[in-house]
Amino acid sequence: MPPLTLPPAVVLVVDDEPAIRDVLQAVFHRAGIEVLTAGSSQEALRVLHHAQVDVVLSDYQIPGMTGLDLLARVRVLHPQVARFMMTAYPDAHLAERGVNEARLDRCFIKPVRLAEIVSAVQDVLQERAAEGARARAFARSFDAMHKALEVRADAGLPVSVLAREDAEPASGRKPARFPLGDAGTGSN
């Protein structure tokens, strides 16, 4: 089976300044990350409605609503999307709202190094890819266990024990037994 190739990550950059959008787009493209852009919160919501996005990076001061309000809405509408914000006006109230309302993955204080933004985006993408890989591995092991139980049942063998009878755990204790019979009674 050929290795699974994942589509490139997609970042939505939301800023009302075209020059900032253009610079961020170029930097992310060099890092192999696709970029969509929006100049306002309404435009960003339209993009999110029509495109699969992995990360939203928004400035705080944008037309329509604040970047923080936008990212709080993204959290509700698209909880799987990572949320990053940039601001030149940090304060304690803003930080509190970022944590409580938008559940920001990261907040950057301007001026910020572009490499820092790209690195943070790559880190969150790698974390989420690892979480996805763990979930897929669990699903595969669950499917394999289910198929093994079906084979045992089809062959007329008892399926009342999940642990291997011949397995000897490192602790020296007997393996755990999990009854699977009728209505959880353990009877077959």
Q: Is the pLDDT of residue 173 over 80?
A: no
pLDDT band at 93 (very low <50, low <70, confident <90, very high): confident
Domain co-membership, 129 together with 143:
no
Planar angle of CA 38, 40, 42, nearest 5 degrees: 100
The domain spanning residue 42 has which CATH number? 3.40.50.2300
Query: What is the domain extent for residue 32?
Result: 10-133
Position 151 scores a pLDDT of 63
Q: How many domains does the chain have?
A: 2
Mean pLDDT, to the nearest integer, of 120-146?
Answer: 73
Structure-token match 């006006």, residue found: 89
- Choice between 10 and 185, residue whose per-residue pLDDT is larger: 10
